[in-house]
């Protein structure tokens, strides 16, 4: 009888422990989370914009993407407004916040030709998330976009360099980007829908330092920085959007 009770106890403990083991694998970077105040209002505004349709291009990210409406405003008007682009960058966002937004209407009912994704730097503060966890979050976002927007090609950008000089945080972001880039491989993306591009070196000096002339706070680009960004992705973006090259006039 004691042996039977002991066996039953072991089985029950195994069953009760199973959910806990699974829960440990689900970290913050892949757990959808929302925010509040102005963030909610911006989320509602984006939803209202996409409801109107006519969306051929979307930019998904944090404050660096958000600021296409600030320091990058003139370049946005030149390169992306004519392409019916929608800015889905939210200042302060982490991967988990983007996942929540994608789950809650921001890309419903549309079928853009392309999506530019650059996210993760806010997850890298201190010990908030490891490079592996940040990569998990980025990959989860790409998968979410692929599921909800199966006809949309993705241009996944490496996290931009930050800080005046090379640092552990910059290295963490670089590692996260490298790990996330694997989703664009032929084996994981046989339909060739996800394309990875690292334009970070274009912002750096030969000694790998970051100039205030490009990012005054060593994180957010100014107008010069946004010009570098736009120029760097333009050839690939044209390709993904299926735009024909204009013939040179004589």
Judged by average pLDDT, the poorest of 5-14, 126-135, 230-239 is 5-14
| Residue at 9 is within a domain | no
> In terms of C-beta density within 10 A (0-12 exposed, 13-18 middle, 19 or more buried), how is residue 73 classed?
middle
| Residue at 140 is within a domain | yes
User: What is the C-alpha separation between 134 and 130, in angstroms, rounded?
Assistant: 6
Does position 3 have pLDDT exceeding 90, yes or no?
no
Give the mean model confidence (pLDDT) for residues 152-167.
98
Does position 9 have pLDDT exceeding 60, yes or no?
no
Alpha-carbon distances, residue 144 vs 18, 107, 111, 116, 240 (angstroms): 26, 10, 14, 14, 19
| Residue at 135 is within a domain | yes
| Residue at 17 is within a domain | no
Q: Which own/partner contact pairs does 138-143 have at CB distance under 8 Å and 24+ positions apart?
A: 138/95, 138/176, 138/177, 138/180, 139/180, 139/182, 139/183, 140/29, 140/30, 140/95, 140/99, 141/60, 141/95, 141/98, 141/99, 141/102, 141/117, 142/117, 142/180, 142/183, 142/194, 143/183
* pLDDT confidence of residue 81: 98
**Which residue intervals of the chain are DSSP H helices?**
2-25, 38-51, 63-66, 73-79, 95-103, 131-148, 168-180, 223-241
- Tally the domains of the chain: 1
| Residue at 231 is within a domain | yes
Asked if residues 67 and 89 have their Cβ atoms less than 8 Å apart, the reply is yes
Global pTM value: 0.88
User: What is the C-alpha separation between 184 and 240, in angstroms, rounded?
Assistant: 14
| Residue at 110 is within a domain | yes
Domain span at residue 167 reads: 28-241
Q: Any idea what the Cα angle at residue 24 is, between residues 20 and 25, rounded to 5°?
A: 125
| Residue at 219 is within a domain | yes
Average pLDDT, the chain: 90
Higher pLDDT, residue 139 or 245: 139
Q: Is 244 helix (H, G, I), strand (E, B) or coil?
A: coil
Asked if residues 228 and 221 have their Cβ atoms less than 8 Å apart, the reply is yes
CATH number at 65 reads 3.40.50.1110
Does position 244 have pLDDT exceeding 80, yes or no?
no
Does position 70 have pLDDT exceeding 90, yes or no?
yes
DSSP for 46-76, please give it.
HHHHHHT----EEEEESHHHHGGGTTTHHHH
| Residue at 98 is within a domain | yes
The catalytic residues are: 63, 217, 220
The per-residue pLDDT for range 75-93, each reduced to its tens digit, is 999 999 999 999 999 999 9
């Amino acid at each position: 009888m004691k042996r039977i009770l002991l066996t039953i106890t072991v089985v029950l403990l195994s069953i009760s422990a199973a959910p806990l083991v699974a829960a440990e694998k689900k970290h913050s970077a892949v757990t959808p989370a929302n925010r509040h105040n102005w963030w909610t209002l911006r989320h509602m505004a984006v939803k209202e914009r996409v409801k109107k349709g006519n969306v051929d291009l979307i930019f998904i990210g944090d404050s660096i993407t958000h600021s296409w409406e600030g320091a990058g405003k003139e370049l946005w008007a030149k390169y992306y407004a004519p392409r019916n682009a929608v800015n889905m960058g939210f200042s302060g966002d982490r991967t988990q916040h983007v996942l929540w937004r994608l789950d809650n209407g921001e890309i419903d009912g549309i079928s853009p030709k392309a999506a530019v994704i650059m996210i993760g730097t806010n997850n890298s503060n201190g010990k908030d998330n490891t490079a592996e966890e940040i990569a998990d979050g980025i990959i989860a976002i790409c998968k979410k976009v692929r599921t909800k927007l199966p006809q949309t090609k993705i241009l996944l950008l490496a996290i931009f360099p930050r800080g005046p000089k090379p640092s552990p945080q910059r290295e963490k972001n670089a590692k996260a980007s490298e790990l996330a880039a694997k989703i664009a491989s032929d084996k994981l993306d046989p339909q060739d829908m996800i394309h990875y591009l690292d334009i970070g070196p274009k912002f750096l000096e030969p000694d790998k330092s970051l100039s205030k002339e490009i990012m005054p706070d060593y994180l957010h680009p100014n107008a010069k920085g946004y010009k570098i960004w736009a120029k760097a992705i333009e050839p690939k973006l044209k390709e993904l959007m299926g735009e024909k090259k204009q013939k040179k006039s004589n």
